[in-house]
Structure 1
């Protein structure tokens, strides 16, 4: 996923209860994402295709 960079907001398609996540870092195919209801998770983007969010509600811009 070329657009996956630190600071962007995503959702995990298989874990909607985790809420919105903010990408913290990306190294190769591994992204560390801080989800509002789950905390920091290391995601292998070769296995999981995170949903990139274009319009993120204002309340999520500072977590």
Structure 2
């Protein structure tokens, strides 16, 4: 089954479902299941796409 993480591209806007206080974030890169996102309130975070399913807000 394909999830949102599988279609993320740089520039897309996402939210972390377990960290709503981080606000929206812009995808910087996706490499081997690791997704780097620059969140408005938490800065740059590297997300393990195997463990966390991000929520797509906008395709950028």
TM-score w.r.t. length of structure 2: 0.86
Larger Rg: 1
Root-mean-square deviation (CA), in Å? 1.5
Aligned mate of 2:37, from 29, 33, 36: 33
Structure 2 unmatched runs, 5+: none
Aligned mate of 2:9, from 5, 11, 24: 5
TM-score w.r.t. length of structure 1: 0.82
Q: Which has the higher strand share?
A: 2
Alignment size in residue pairs: 56
